[in-house]
A and B are shown apart, each in its own frame.
Chain A
Amino acid sequence: MTAATMAGNRPQRPSRTKRNLALLGVGLIVAAAVATVDVDPAEILELPAGVALLFREMFLDPGPDWSYLPTAMEGMLESIQIAWVGTVIGAILSLPLGFFGAKNVSSPLVSNVVRQFLNVIRAFPEIILAITIMIPIAGLTPVAGALALGIHSIGTLGKLTAEVVEGIDPGPVEAARAAGGRPLQIQRWGILPQVLPEIVAFWLYRFEINIRASAILGAVGAGGIGFSLQQTIVFHRYELAGTAIIVVVVATIAVDTVSGWVRRRIIEGADARARPGDVEALGSPLREDTAIG
């Protein structure tokens, strides 16, 4: 055998045309954005100095004003409550919607309609819902914020619930049917126990996301810490803003930690009981990515 035939056995290099075309496309889009965006290059150079100055005033000199701490903590508590109420609204309403949206439980027509409805809800950011619908209706109150978060959460949680229900093990459903269960009984005993741990974990995850969202809703007047943040920064009271930011960061990380621990406990408990493999299902980034949007 000659070297030439040996070389012929080597697998061919996969074509890179598609990849290169994609890179070229992305490059062109980015270049077009750079060329046309309305940004003054001189301002970019000023940015680091401006941020450094702001940072200094907030945290070093004069630094956070601790007398503002009780006010900031009260605002943060309100933000957490807004997030909680929003999540509860979303959780309660999304559970039946998720079942109706799952193809293996409801009819194709119903599941399609429900899915589209959920998609439409999800397309509106919470803050847009708050500004355009909730604040005109419920006024500049925390309730408006909670309703806006609740409606958006129905969209995301409903979609996730439907996906989880579609991924169930059909065994228990068949068993419940064989034992003479009516449709509602089949759902209660054949499906719900399988999906509940994962769905509750998503509720908690949504709560974590809603805390971030509710912290910003205040900036448009819907209650909570966002209002303090917006007012202190707009009026250049950076020593107060620094305090509020510290409260937001500490509270967010604290809630994330507790909620993350509970989520892991729920999922691992579920795993020990029946279904191996679900730990990855929740932990996997793409799962998480659907939960964010």
Chain B
Amino acid sequence: MTTAAVQPRRPAKPRPSLVVPIGIVAFLAITWASLSEQFGIAFDLGKILEDITAGGEILISDRDSAAQYGLLVPNWAFLPQTVEPMIETFQMAVLAATIGCAVALPVAFVVSRVTTPNSPTFVLGRSVLSVVRAIPDILYALMFVASVSIGPLAGIAALVLFNIGVVAKLLSETVDGVDQGPIEAARAGGSNRPQTVRWAVLPQVLPNYVAYALYTFELNIRAATVIGIVGAGGIGYLLRGQYQFFNWSNVSVIIIVLFVCVFFIEMISIWLRRRLV
């Protein structure tokens, strides 16, 4: 036997697929169009660099306000004024997460095939949920501020809708993936549908549900800040009042406070979630 015969045959090279080149061409075309001045947002790296050198001055020494300071020089005297709005942001986050998660629990069962074999209900639930999710939280806030008034209520209502969207989606995906065994057992034991959901599905997804609830609370601190900017109360509203008048040294304090709070909450929340799931 010759060596050539012993050597296994070299496997054939896979046929070059067209998918990757097409994908790359599509990517480049969309990126070029988006960057161009004619079709897109007129992205010009040279101008950005120029702006950064010019804008940097504004950030360090603000000539527009009496304070004479910029973003890099926080005005610590402003710190006490951030406490109350920050607490309001916390309240908004807690209440919205509580209401949102409570509503999302039944919704998640409606929009999962495992617990809702009835097609019309399932399809309707899915469609409503995707519309709720497609509307950005700030739009909800704008609408609630317009229909109620400026303040935390509009913010809580907006966050509730936002949270229902997030938790119902995440939880319904968990429900989709549950172990079928307990469901069969419950059905064999004569359970009706609500009983099956209660005793065979819920215990399987409960740890995830709690984890999502924590995660939602964490998201809410950030989201509440953002929607506050359009008038929905809390630290965001305070921020708007300061940046509109170019009080960068006060803005700086608000950002530091926010950063510290978000960071600690995230740490606590991640620690708790690790223990749960």
User: Is B226 a contact of A127 with CB atoms below 8 Å?
Assistant: yes
CB-CB contacts below 8 Å: A47-88 with B? 47, 50-51, 53-54, 78, 81-82, 84-85, 88
User: Is A143 a contact of B52 with CB atoms below 8 Å?
Assistant: no
Interface of A is mostly: helix
CB-CB contacts below 8 Å: A20-51 with B? 29-30, 33-34, 36-40, 43-44, 46-47, 50-51
Contacts of A249 in B (CB 8 A): 131, 134-135
Does A165 sit within 8 A of B, measured CB to CB? no
- Give the residue name and chain of the A residue nearest to B70 (CB): A136
Interface of B is mostly: helix
A79 to chain B, nearest CB (A): 10
User: Known interface pairs A128-B258, A216-B138, A229-B139. Does A136 touch B59 (Cβ–Cβ under 8 Å)?
Assistant: yes
- Give the residue name and chain of the A residue nearest to B17 (CB): A269
Distance A215 CA – B40 CA, assembled complex (angstroms): 16
User: Is A44 a contact of B153 with CB atoms below 8 Å?
Assistant: yes
User: Is B212 a contact of A50 with CB atoms below 8 Å?
Assistant: no
Contacts of B152 in A (CB 8 A): 37-39
Distance A253 CA – B126 CA, assembled complex (angstroms): 12
- Give the residue name and chain of the B residue nearest to A238 (CB): B146
Does B277 sit within 8 A of A, measured CB to CB? yes
Among B51, B130, B157, contact of A47 (Cβ-Cβ < 8 Å): B157
Does A123 sit within 8 A of B, measured CB to CB? yes
CB-CB contacts below 8 Å: B116-141 with A? 130-131, 134-139
Does A133 sit within 8 A of B, measured CB to CB? yes
Does B222 sit within 8 A of A, measured CB to CB? yes
User: Is A292 a contact of B219 with CB atoms below 8 Å?
Assistant: yes
Does A189 sit within 8 A of B, measured CB to CB? no
Distance A284 CA – B173 CA, assembled complex (angstroms): 8
User: Is A84 a contact of B95 with CB atoms below 8 Å?
Assistant: no
Does B149 sit within 8 A of A, measured CB to CB? yes
Distance A281 CA – B107 CA, assembled complex (angstroms): 25
Contacts of B5 in A (CB 8 A): none
Does A151 sit within 8 A of B, measured CB to CB? no
Write out, one digit per residue, whether chain A residues 133-150 have a CB within 8 A of any chain B CB (1) or not (0). Answer: 100111101110011000
Does B197 sit within 8 A of A, measured CB to CB? no
Does A1 sit within 8 A of B, measured CB to CB? no
Among B92, B130, B243, contact of A253 (Cβ-Cβ < 8 Å): B130
Does B263 sit within 8 A of A, measured CB to CB? yes
Among A37, A47, A84, A132, contact of B31 (Cβ-Cβ < 8 Å): A84
Contacts of A46 in B (CB 8 A): 148
User: Is B230 a contact of A132 with CB atoms below 8 Å?
Assistant: no
Contacts of B166 in A (CB 8 A): 292
Does A248 sit within 8 A of B, measured CB to CB? yes
Does A226 sit within 8 A of B, measured CB to CB? yes
Among A216, A269, A286, contact of B277 (Cβ-Cβ < 8 Å): A286
Does B202 sit within 8 A of A, measured CB to CB? no
Distance A124 CA – B225 CA, assembled complex (angstroms): 10
Please, how many residues of chain B have a CB less than 8 angstroms from a CB on the other chain? Answer: 78
Contacts of A139 in B (CB 8 A): 51
A231 to chain B, nearest CB (A): 10
User: Is B71 a contact of A132 with CB atoms below 8 Å?
Assistant: yes
User: Is B34 a contact of A85 with CB atoms below 8 Å?
Assistant: yes
User: Is A123 a contact of B41 with CB atoms below 8 Å?
Assistant: no
User: Is B263 a contact of A123 with CB atoms below 8 Å?
Assistant: yes
Does B164 sit within 8 A of A, measured CB to CB? no
Among B139, B215, B218, B222, contact of A216 (Cβ-Cβ < 8 Å): B139
User: Known interface pairs A233-B143, A245-B139. Does A81 touch B148 (Cβ–Cβ under 8 Å)?
Assistant: no
Does B114 sit within 8 A of A, measured CB to CB? no
Does B86 sit within 8 A of A, measured CB to CB? no
6 additional contacts (CB under 8 A) given A39-B153, A269-B19:
A43-B148, A47-B148, A131-B229, A226-B138, A284-B173, A292-B219
Residues of A within 8 A of B (CB): 29-30, 33-34, 36-40, 43-44, 46-47, 50-51, 53-54, 78, 81-82, 84-85, 88, 119-120, 123-125, 127-128, 131-133, 136-139, 141-143, 146-147, 212-213, 215-216, 219-220, 223, 226, 229-230, 233-234, 236, 245, 248-249, 252-253, 256, 265, 269, 280, 283-286, 288-289, 292-293
Residues of B within 8 A of A (CB): 19, 30-31, 33-35, 40-44, 48, 51-52, 54-56, 58-59, 71, 87-88, 90-92, 94-95, 98, 130-131, 134-139, 142-144, 146-149, 151-153, 156-157, 166, 170-171, 173-174, 177, 208, 211-212, 215, 218-219, 222-223, 225-226, 229-230, 233, 239, 243, 248, 251, 255, 258-259, 262-263, 266, 277
What are the 9 A-B residue pairs with the smallest beta carbon separation, nearest first? A137-B55, A50-B147, A142-B41, A216-B138, A81-B34, A252-B134, A33-B94, A37-B91, A33-B91
